[in-house]
Amino acid sequence: MNILDKIVLRKKEEVALAKQHVSVKQLEAAQHFNRSPYSFKEFLLADDRTGIIAEFKRQSPSKGVINDKVTVADVTTAYASARASALSVLTDTDFFGGHQRDLLEARAANKVPILRKDFMIDEYQILEAKAWGADIILLIAAILTPQEIATLAGTAKGLGLNVLLEVHNQEELERSICTDLDAIGVNNRNLADFTVNIQTSFDLADQIPADFMKISESAISETSTIKLLKQAGFNGFLIGENFMKTEDPGLAIREFVSELISV
């Protein structure tokens, strides 16, 4: 069993448990449920933003603890001030050390789109994402059937949420595309064995239909890579570890962005 299988197995238990504790009615009555989500596309394309989707990532299965000394509010507000186009907040606890309250804290502190970064397998989690103040949800092709992707994407769009589909190869891309997607992300990390290769994004760039925003995800640590990805047609760049591994992720993104815009 690989790590994705383990995560999905645990996620099924978590969702079943969550449904016993919080009803759909309660989620629908939550403070954020009726707010209108920000447009992911607008923030990705805005002249005064960078395309960076900056991730709050305490730990990961591949790296263990990355940073457990910083707070969500400090880091995410620094990311947004440094002109990140969006924030990514992990809400998976067992494998990434994230939590629902991380998303709620990021929402309270920021006026930019926020991705609920989790392993979505059930419509209930989409309602949670809306209730907790997310603007974007992630659907990972490697763990969902085409029918599940279409259904979950349809539910999310019905709630006004933005949908990011994540793929790792052409086969996943071809079988997963549906109308209710806003963006397609190419993950440079193989989630089964943790190997990373930026070339994955370049290989798939031209295969992504022009109607979708193109995002490159994982293992980005150089501004020169972003420039090449932009030339290949990418609009967004999901970066976690490169900022989070430093003592001051806010300073790290500021320095990164000043280098990015200096040429």
Ligand X SMILES: O=C(O)c1ccccc1NCC(=O)[C@H](O)[C@H](O)COP(=O)(O)O
**Rule CB under 6 A: which residues touch ligand X?**
3, 55, 57, 60-62, 187, 189, 191, 194, 217-220, 238-242
* Residue 217 annotated in active site: yes
**Of the residues 60, 88, 110, 117, which is catalytic?**
117
> What is the chain's length?
263
d(CA 80, CA 248): 14
**Of the residues 88, 187, 201, 216, which is catalytic?**
187
* Residue 105 annotated in active site: no
Cβ proximity to ligand X: between 17 and 192 the closer is: 192
Q: Tell which residue, 108, 117, 135, has the closest CA to residue 42.
A: 135
Q: CB of 228 within 8 A of CB of 38?
A: no
Q: How far is the CB of 22 from ligand X (least distance, A)?
A: 25
**Of the residues 67, 88, 188, 218, which is catalytic?**
218
* Residue 11 annotated in active site: no
Q: How far is the CB of 30 from ligand X (least distance, A)?
A: 26
SS3 content of the chain, % helix, strand, coil (to 5): 45, 15, 40
d(CA 192, CA 22): 32
Cβ proximity to ligand X: between 105 and 241 the closer is: 241
Cβ proximity to ligand X: between 62 and 223 the closer is: 62
d(CA 106, CA 111): 9
Phi and psi for 258 in degrees, rounded to 5? Answer: -65, -35
Q: How far is the CB of 189 from ligand X (least distance, A)?
A: 6
Cβ proximity to ligand X: between 27 and 172 the closer is: 172
Residue where the block lists tokens 């200096």: 262
Q: How far is the CB of 121 from ligand X (least distance, A)?
A: 14
* Residue 230 annotated in active site: no
Active site residues: 55, 57, 117, 166, 187, 217-218
